[in-house]
């Protein structure tokens, strides 16, 4: 007589109900544990494993790659869920680059001259209401639009406000938020750090300056059919455009104040009818300085503190 006939069959005969019940219990316990693991990671088990095993550049659509770039917030991780047509045709024409080579002395002279011009740039907080022609503002923004951008997506919108009523509304929004920023949100360290600069929540320049230029980054593009197009490095691209804009303002003999009013973005976006893919990065009053304008007597770091040569 075999072992199965001697022991297993009599056992199953007497205890088959317990055996079946145990199997069902183990099956459901396993199912429960699997579900629990999946929910806590919010990523299906098979996809989490796939993403882990791939290098970051080739990971899938689980918001693993931040396309916006440096220091991005969560909102910037919005991505095109479907593949859209490539930005450029495969047979995009490449044309000769026109370049006039300068003599080294001329390069030196120009670099000195540009440095002298830019070294005179200051953040000015007191503006006159002298008008600035619209054509000048057009050229400043044209120049900002020459900035490089990730895959040439040009992920920016510049809103130029010359209308006095809208400027008043902008000022009301900014002052209301800045009062809360200074009294509650910023904290004593930040407020103390700003004391020497004499900045307050009162922003007269917002109604005095001839123009206000608001720089928005577009966190993604919107195709005519509503699908999203990725805007790679939208943050740094728009910041570069902002830097070029500051240089253009200085070059035109105008002044500005680089400002980033905290917590005002959504309200200003609504006021200016911008869409939800546009996030305000900079708010720049642009115009002429008031005759009695002052600036804090700040010094800039010398070259050897900001440059390393290898
Ligand atoms: C990202 C950024 C945000 C800034 N935000 C403000 C601001 O909200 N209000 C303000 O009065 N100045 C602001 N500033 C201006 C700085 O205080 C100023 O650039 C700094 O004191 C150096 O002075 P300068 O621009 O005259 O060289 C900002 C500057 C930068 C670059």
Structure confidence by residue, pLDDT tens digits, 11-54: 777 777 787 777 677 777 666 655 543 333 332 333 333 333 33
Q: What is the pLDDT of residue 90?
A: 94
pLDDT in tens, 174-219: 999 999 999 999 999 999 999 999 999 999 999 999 999 999 999 9
- What mean pLDDT comes out for the span 70-82? 50
Q: 137 and 281 share a domain? A: yes
Is residue 224 assigned to a domain? yes
Is residue 304 assigned to a domain? no
Q: 60 and 114 share a domain? A: no
CA of 189 to the centre of ligand 1 (A): 16
pLDDT in tens, 253-280: 999 999 999 999 999 999 999 999 999 9
Q: 57 and 134 share a domain? A: no
Q: 148 and 289 share a domain? A: yes
* Closest approach atom of ligand 1 to CA 125: 11
CA of 112 to the centre of ligand 1 (A): 24
Q: 129 and 276 share a domain? A: yes
CA of 297 to the centre of ligand 1 (A): 14
Is residue 289 assigned to a domain? yes
Q: 200 and 274 share a domain? A: yes
Q: 46 and 127 share a domain? A: no
Q: 49 and 122 share a domain? A: no
Helix, strand, coil content of the chain in percent (nearest 5)? 50, 10, 40
Q: How many domains would you assign to the chain?
A: 2
Residues with C-beta less than 6 Å from any ligand 1 atom: 122-123, 125, 197, 199, 257-261, 295, 298
CA of 214 to the centre of ligand 1 (A): 15
pLDDT at 131 over 50: yes
Q: 156 and 243 share a domain? A: yes
The enclosing domain of 188 has a CATH number of 3.40.109.10
Q: What is the pLDDT of residue 18?
A: 80
Contact 88, 216 (CB under 8 A): no
Q: What is the pLDDT of residue 101?
A: 98
pLDDT in tens, 93-116: 999 999 999 999 999 999 999 999
Which residues constitute the domain of residue 7? 3-65
Cβ neighbors of 218 (< 8 A, separation 6 or more) are 155, 156, 157, 231, 234, 238, 277, 278
Is residue 175 assigned to a domain? yes
* Closest approach atom of ligand 1 to CA 199: 11
Comparing 66 with 155, the larger pLDDT belongs to 155
Q: What is the pLDDT of residue 76?
A: 46
Tell me the C-alpha distance between 144 and 249, whole Å: 10
Residues of the chain with pLDDT > 90: what percent? 73
Q: Which of 235, 278, 230 shows the shortest CA–CA distance to 79?
A: 230
- In order of 24, 45, 48, 290, 301, the CA distances from 31 in angstroms are 11, 13, 18, 73, 63
Is residue 205 assigned to a domain? yes
Q: 282 and 157 share a domain? A: yes
Cα 234 to chain centroid, rounded: 6
């Amino acid at each position: 007589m075999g072992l199965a006939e001697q022991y297993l069959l009599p056992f199953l005969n007497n205890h088959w109900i317990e055996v079946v019940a145990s199997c069902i219990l183990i099956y459901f316990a396993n199912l429960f544990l699997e579900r629990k693991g999946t929910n806590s990671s919010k990523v299906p088990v098979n996809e989490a494993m796939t993403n882990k095993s791939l290098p970051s550049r080739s990971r899938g659509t689980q918001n693993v790659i931040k396309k916006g770039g440096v220091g991005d917030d969560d909102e910037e991780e919005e991505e095109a869920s479907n593949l859209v047509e490539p930005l450029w045709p495969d047979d995009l024409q490449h044309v000769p680059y026109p370049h006039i080579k300068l003599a080294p002395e001329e390069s030196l002279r120009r670099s000195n001259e540009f440095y002298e011009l830019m070294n005179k740039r200051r953040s000015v907080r007191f503006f006159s209401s002298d008008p600035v022609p619209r054509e000048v503002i057009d050229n400043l923004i044209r120049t900002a639009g020459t900035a490089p951008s990730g895959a040439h997506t040009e992920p920016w919108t510049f809103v130029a406000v010359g209308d006095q009523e809208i400027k008043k509304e902008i000022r009301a929004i900014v002052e209301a938020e800045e009062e809360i920023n200074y009294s509650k949100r910023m904290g004593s360290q930040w407020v103390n750090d700003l004391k020497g600069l004499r900045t307050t929540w009162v922003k007269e320049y917002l109604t005095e300056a001839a123009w206000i230029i608001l720089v928005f980054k577009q966190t993604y593009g919107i195709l005519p059919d509503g699908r999203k197009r990725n805007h790679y490095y939208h943050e740094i691209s728009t910041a570069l455009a902002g830097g070029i804009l500051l240089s253009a303002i200085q070059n035109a003999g105008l002044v500005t104040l680089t400002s980033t009013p905290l917590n005002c973005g959504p309200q200003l976006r609504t006021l200016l009818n911008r869409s939800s893919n546009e996030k305000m990065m900079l708010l720049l009053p642009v115009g002429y300085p008031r005759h009695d304008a002052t600036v804090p007597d700040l010094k800039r770091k010398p070259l050897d503190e900001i440059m390393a040569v290898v």
